[in-house]
Amino acid sequence: MDSSSGADLRVTGTCASFTAQASSGSDIDARNLRCETGSVDVSSGADARIFASGRLDVDASSGGGVVAYGNPGIGNINLSSGGSLRRAD
């Protein structure tokens, strides 16, 4: 799933794996998309809230933020230029 230029995206359901990209102040709310593994790339002030029960790869830059739900094992992490990652219940 891709979100850009201030767009807001909210998704629900289940999946085995997902890939998400958010940029330019956009927002992805996928807390209720219950997936096993995932990869998320956020930049330029975008935010993503992601659920993964297995592994999660994160690339966050230029003020982009990721909140991880589901207590995933964190795989590859790249945080730069104010990018952030935090876990939530």
**Local confidence band at 60 (pLDDT 50, 70, 90 cut-offs):** very high
What is the predicted pLDDT for the residue at 89? 80
Judge whether 87 lies within some domain: no
* Number of domains comprising the chain: 1
High-pLDDT (> 90) share of the chain, %: 98
Range of the domain at 46: 2-79
Residue 83 pLDDT level (bands cut at 50, 70, 90): very high
Per-residue pLDDT at 88: 96
What is the rounded (10 degree) CA torsion for 14, 71, 31, 67?
-140
Residues 23, 34: Cα–Cα separation, whole Å: 22
Counting Cβ atoms within 10 Å, is residue 5 exposed (0-12), middle (13-18) or buried (19+)?
exposed
Would 70 be classed as within a structural domain?
yes
- 51 to 45, 70, 71, 82: CA distances (angstroms): 20, 5, 8, 22
Is residue 86 in a domain?
no
pLDDT beyond 90 at 62: yes
Q: What is the pTM of this model?
A: 0.95
